[in-house]
């Protein structure tokens, strides 16, 4: 193997020329016409290093000759370390041996190898060469001990990943109002407008102003797969639409909301990018207000679950319709499209609440949400919506921890046969992200003692789903598309 790059401790500015070096290798001088035969015979005794040619021009200037480089474990003319097959081939063909110098530079080594040669020895064990990709942006989360070298690290990451144009570092905790990370550019273009493809959809957004986590791709797909094309879905904390867009394209009727006006703006733009028409309605409201507003708007729209239209069985291509066996036999009747049923109350099949830090706190909005609708919802175990609420837990018994927190906020017990807790990912050594899914219990949905926490009494006012202290009239803030 090519040895690691020369140690260059203490650099604060990247000097790529410092990594130029040469390596000596044994080589076979052969006629050019014999190249393929030689390569097949040598196998793994030939130099097999990435980014380095193992067949080069001959050092004697003869254009009809080539040098085939041997691996670096073979360094003597007696071919110690080579296989017997290789030795016999060289002897049988009368091939001359020589020494060749291989030039190696900065481009040869990986980001991890370069960083290990640059960073102080005491912090190289966890050299920060990993990152999350968001379109053309590499998003890093550097620990404090690496910050003096952040510019150097960013440039190495940019050099070693040609698909990237910008490297950024998280500089603070997540923004408390709109749930996006504060960050700084370490290397490359100062361009935060990312374009991403996920779940068959296109997403465009300002990564510095909205929340996006590419690691949640699997979770987005998992929930969307639960939805039937005929379902009505309410996405309470929708961001730029990673649940809403694919659900809409699937055929669902989707009402999506985010308090962050920038997320709202890009959700509207992404609706256009994905050519979604009338089955996606977008809002810019407080999470609690949106839950009630979406239920009201869905009812006012008169939306009903689409009825599947039966189709006649298909025969062979080009085959004529079967004829009656006798003159008196009735002719086949064409399928009739069922008429739409009379208007009746319809609510959402699913609510998605993807704000793990505080989503549970918004569940109090469901208490008494359907008070007075008891007669219109005669089968609550079927007609009341499923709620999918993301959250964090540090408990050794997350099932009990999450369920008890949900019940405390909603002011009632969940129906255990409908509850499922799904592990999403680990976010810290003792902190995991989960999604609890459950059917809204009738005793909570129809409760008469509606108890909603005031914004001044809850941390929700400082989150993306909650409403901050108003500084302008509600009429001035965009509400729906």
- SS3 category, 163: coil
| Cβ atoms of residues 72 and 23 within 8 Å | yes
Give the integer Cα–Cα distance in Å for 402 and 391. Answer: 8
- Angle at CA of residue 141, ends 138 and 145, nearest 5°: 130
Strand partners, 393: 432
Strand ranges across the sheet with 181-188: 132-134, 137-140, 166-174, 181-188
Give the integer Cα–Cα distance in Å for 267 and 244. Answer: 9
286 marked as binding residue: yes
| Cβ atoms of residues 111 and 160 within 8 Å | yes
| Cβ atoms of residues 366 and 445 within 8 Å | yes
Give the integer Cα–Cα distance in Å for 176 and 449. Answer: 31
364 marked as binding residue: no
Give the integer Cα–Cα distance in Å for 366 and 236. Answer: 12
Give the integer Cα–Cα distance in Å for 267 and 283. Answer: 9
How far from each other are the two terminal CA atoms of the chain, in whole angstroms?
60
Number of Cβ atoms within 10 Å of the Cβ of 402: 21
258 marked as binding residue: yes
| Residue 152 backbone class (left: φ over 0; alpha: ψ -120 to 50; beta: rest) | alpha
45 marked as binding residue: no
Which residue in the block uniquely carries the two structure tokens 């190249």? 35
Roughly what angle, to the nearest 10 degrees, separates helices 111-118 and 150-160? Answer: 160
Nearest to 352 by CA among 447, 425, 200, 248: 248
Strand ranges across the sheet with 55-57: 55-57, 65-69, 21-31, 96-104
DSSP summary character for residue 70 = B
Percent helix, strand, coil in the chain, to 5, is 30, 25, 45
59 marked as binding residue: no
- SS3 category, 103: strand
Contacts of residue 17, defined as CB under 8 A and 6 or more positions apart, other chains included, come to 106
354 marked as binding residue: yes
Pairing label, strands 181-188, 232-235: unpaired
| Cβ atoms of residues 433 and 357 within 8 Å | no
Q: Please compute Rg for the chain using Cα positions.
A: 32
Q: Which residue positions form the known binding site for S-adenosyl-L-methionine?
A: 220, 258-259, 286-287, 354
Q: Which residue positions form the known binding site?
A: 220, 258-259, 286-287, 354
């Amino acid at each position: 193997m090519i040895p690691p790059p020369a140690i260059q401790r203490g650099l604060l500015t990247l000097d790529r020329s410092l990594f130029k070096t040469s390596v000596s290798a044994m080589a076979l001088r052969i006629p050019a016409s014999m190249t393929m035969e030689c390569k097949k015979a040598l196998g793994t005794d030939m130099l097999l290093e990435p980014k380095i040619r193992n067949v080069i021009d001959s050092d004697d200037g003869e254009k009809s000759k080539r040098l085939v480089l041997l691996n670096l474990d073979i360094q003597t003319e007696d071919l110690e370390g080579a296989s017997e097959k290789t030795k016999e081939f060289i002897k049988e063909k009368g091939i001359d041996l020589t020494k060749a110098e291989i030039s190696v530079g900065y481009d040869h080594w990986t980001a991890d190898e370069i960083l290990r040669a640059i960073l102080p020895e005491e912090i190289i064990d966890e050299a920060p060469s990993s990152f999350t990709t968001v379109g053309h942006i590499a998003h890093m989360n550097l620990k404090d001990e690496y910050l003096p070298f952040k510019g150097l690290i960013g440039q190495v990451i940019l050099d070693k990943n040609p698909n990237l144009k910008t490297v950024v570092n998280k500089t603070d905790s997540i923004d408390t109002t709109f749930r996006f990370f504060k960050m700084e550019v370490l290397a490359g273009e100062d361009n935060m407008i990312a374009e991403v493809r996920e779940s068959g959809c296109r997403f465009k957004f300002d990564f510095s102003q909205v929340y996006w986590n590419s690691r949640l791709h699997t979770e987005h797909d998992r929930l969307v797969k639960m939805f039937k094309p005929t379902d009505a879905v309410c996405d309470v904390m929708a961001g730029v639409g990673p649940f809403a867009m694919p659900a809409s394209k699937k055929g669902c009727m989707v009402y999506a909301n985010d308090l962050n006006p920038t997320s709202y703006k890009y959700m509207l733009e992404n609706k256009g990018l994905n050519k979604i028409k009338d089955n996606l309605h977008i809002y810019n409201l407080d999470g609690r207000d949106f839950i009630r507003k979406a239920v009201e708007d869905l009812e006012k729209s008169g939306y009903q679950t689409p009825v599947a239209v039966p189709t006649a069985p298909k025969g062979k291509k080009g085959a004529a319709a079967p004829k009656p066996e006798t003159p008196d036999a009735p002719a086949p009747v064409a399928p009739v499209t069922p008429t739409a049923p009379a208007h009746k109350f319809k609510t959402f099949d699913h609510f998605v609440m993807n704000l793990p830090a505080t989503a549970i706190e918004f569940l109090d909005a469901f208490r008494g949400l359907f008070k007075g609708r008891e007669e219109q919802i005669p089968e609550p175990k079927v007609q009341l919506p499923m709620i999918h609420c993301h959250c964090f837990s540090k408990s050794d018994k997350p099932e009990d921890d999450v369920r008890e927190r949900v019940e405390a906020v909603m002011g009632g017990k969940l129906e255990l046969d409908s509850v499922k807790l799904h592990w999403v990912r680990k976010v810290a050594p003792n902190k995991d992200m989960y999604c609890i899914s459950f059917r809204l219990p009738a005793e909570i949905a129809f409760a008469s003692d509606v108890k909603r926490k005031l914004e001044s009494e809850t941390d929700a006012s400082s989150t993306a789903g909650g409403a901050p202290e108003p500084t302008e009239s509600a009429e001035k803030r965009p509400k729906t598309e």
